[in-house]
């Protein structure tokens, strides 16, 4: 089933509003979700709507949050999301960081007590669309072994970055600090296919190629990825006074409870460091230079980080976004949710 960007967003907004969000907040969440689907990151798009709807309906996402913003310095602030929709809180917090960066060169906003906020690339692109550099990190629930460990401690703890180039150019990347996302494990299970041995571990902490034996994911590049996920957890958890490490709330444990997650936005104004026009020219030149690098055997060209997602978004805008029939039927149906997620064990077979 192919849907236009606008139609898909409308269906998602309607379902989230049906679950209990205000129209404005349902629209804000749907905007972030359709952004993910446009980039081909379907694990953070329409397939998430039923999960959000169930949590909203059961009270785990505050439908009438009292957001608060407190400046703690000329370029620093805290944004309290009151366990409302994380997508909306993170977007508003980024707007505040952007305003500070325009005035003083940098804006750093800690976003605390929010629910899952979806694809981080959305928020950093808010900054690049304003001729600013955006960096965002957030914590997630424990499902990754620390290097040398046999049980999960950190989450996939993503990092996103975006910088503006000339005209409509921008360079953006959004990455988890694990070798692969959990969705890839589920895909392998559905196909009954083996997975590479560097993706995940079994209950004994040993590498496994059997997707049904997975009990935790592995960090990228061993100790280096482990260090990155620790950094993300400190910046978005410890720094903000919210639960951290293996105390971060589970996505599925109890959908009636708020998740109290943390996120950190850092926005830099290039014009405080260099000439803005030159900066944007050099970003665009970087993109061209990377495309011009001689490709390795097996590759037909070199892409700059995030390029394939940008190209995919252009195709989807022209031809429609591919949505699996089951998700479409849910979005157009009457049911708010089907009780598929509460107290779910993500590692269960």
Torsion, CA 305, CA 311, CA 316, CA 318, rounded to 10: 160
Residue 160, helix vs strand vs coil: strand
Q: For residue 91, give the nearest of 49, 132, 54, 119 by alpha carbon.
A: 119
Q: For residue 91, give the nearest of 62, 124, 130 by alpha carbon.
A: 124
Q: For residue 28, give the H/E element and its range.
A: helix 23-38
Q: Cα separation of 308 and 258, whole Å?
A: 35
Instruction: State residue 349's pLDDT score.
Output: 65
CA 324 to chain centre: 21
pTM of the model: 0.95
Query: Cα dihedral sign for 12, 16, 17, 21?
Result: negative
Q: Is the separation of the CB atoms in 158 and 138 below 8 Å?
A: yes
Question: CA of 259: how far to CAs of 141, 280, 336, in Å?
Answer: 10, 38, 21
Query: Cα dihedral sign for 117, 118, 124, 125?
Result: negative
> Strand 76-80 and strand 106-114: pairing?
parallel
Q: Which residues lie below 8 Å from residue 20, measured CB to CB, with a gap of 6+?
A: 56, 57, 63
Instruction: State residue 186's pLDDT score.
Output: 77
Q: Is the separation of the CB atoms in 29 and 85 below 8 Å?
A: yes
Instruction: State residue 51's pLDDT score.
Output: 95
Torsion, CA 173, CA 176, CA 179, CA 183, rounded to 10: -110
Which two tokens mark 167? Answer: 């005209």
Per-residue pLDDT of the chain (349 residues; tens, 9 = 90+): 899 999 999 999 999 999 999 999 999 999 999 999 999 998 899 999 999 999 999 999 999 999 999 999 999 999 999 999 999 999 999 999 999 999 999 999 999 999 999 999 999 999 999 999 999 999 999 999 999 999 999 999 999 999 999 998 999 999 999 998 887 887 788 788 999 999 999 999 999 999 999 999 999 999 999 999 999 999 999 999 999 999 999 999 999 999 999 999 999 999 999 999 999 999 999 999 999 999 999 999 999 999 999 999 999 999 999 998 999 999 999 999 999 999 988 887 6
Instruction: State residue 180's pLDDT score.
Output: 87
Q: Which residue ranges form the domains of the chain, and what is each CATH number?
A: 2-178+219-274+314-332 (3.30.1370.60)
Instruction: State residue 3's pLDDT score.
Output: 97
Instruction: State residue 144's pLDDT score.
Output: 96
Q: Is the separation of the CB atoms in 110 and 240 below 8 Å?
A: yes
Q: Cα separation of 142 and 232, whole Å?
A: 13
Out of 17, 87, 116, 265, the active site residue is 116
> Strand 133-138 and strand 106-114: pairing?
unpaired
Q: Cα separation of 340 and 324, whole Å?
A: 17
Which two tokens mark 114? Answer: 């929010």
What DSSP designation does 295 have? Answer: P
CA 236 to chain centre: 13
Q: Cα separation of 129 and 267, whole Å?
A: 12
Q: Does residue 25 have an active-site annotation?
A: no
What is the number of other CB atoms lying within 10 angstroms of the CB of residue 138? 29
Residue 87, helix vs strand vs coil: helix
Instruction: State residue 110's pLDDT score.
Output: 98
Q: What is the DSSP string of 100-148?
A: HHHHHSEEEEEEEEE-----THHHHHHHHTTT-EEEEEE---S-BPPTT
């Amino acid at each position: 089933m192919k849907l236009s960007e606008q139609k898909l967003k409308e269906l998602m907004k309607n379902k989230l509003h049906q679950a209990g969000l205000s129209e404005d907040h349902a629209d804000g969440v749907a905007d972030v979700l359709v952004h993910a689907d446009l980039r081909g990151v379907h694990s953070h798009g329409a397939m998430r709507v039923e999960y959000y709807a169930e949590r909203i309906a059961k009270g785990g996402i505050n439908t009438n949050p009292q957001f608060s913003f407190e400046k703690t310095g000329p370029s620093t602030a805290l944004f309290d999301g009151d366990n409302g929709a994380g997508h909306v809180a993170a977007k508003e917090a980024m707007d505040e960081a952007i305003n500070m960066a325009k005035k003083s060169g940098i804006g750093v906003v800690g976003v605390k007590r929010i629910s899952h906020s979806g694809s981080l690339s959305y928020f950093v692109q808010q900054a690049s669309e304003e001729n600013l550099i955006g960096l965002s990190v957030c914590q997630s629930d424990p499902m990754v072994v620390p290097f040398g460990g046999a049980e999960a401690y950190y989450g996939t703890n993503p990092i996103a970055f975006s910088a503006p180039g000339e005209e409509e150019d921008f360079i953006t990347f959004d990455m988890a600090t694990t070798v692969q996302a959990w969705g890839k494990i589920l895909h392998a299970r559905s196909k009954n296919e083996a997975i590479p041995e560097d993706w995940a571990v079994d209950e004994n902490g040993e590498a496994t190629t059997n997707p049904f034996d997975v009990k935790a994911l592995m960090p990228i590049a061993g100790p280096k990825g482990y260090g990155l996920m620790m950094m993300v957890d400190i910046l978005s958890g410890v720094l903000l006074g919210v639960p951290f490490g293996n105390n971060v709330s589970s996505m599925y444990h109890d959908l009636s409870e708020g998740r109290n997650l943390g996120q950190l936005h850092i926005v830099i104004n290039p014009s405080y460091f260099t000439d803005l026009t030159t900066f944007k020219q050099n970003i665009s030149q970087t993109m061209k230079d990377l495309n011009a690098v001689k490709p390795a055997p097996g590759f037909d060209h070199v892409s700059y980080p995030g390029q394939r997602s940008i190209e995919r978004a252009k195709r989807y805008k022209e031809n429609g976004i591919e949505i699996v029939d089951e998700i479409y039927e849910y979005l157009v149906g009457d049911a708010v949710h089907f009780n598929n997620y509460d107290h779910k064990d993500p590692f269960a077979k």
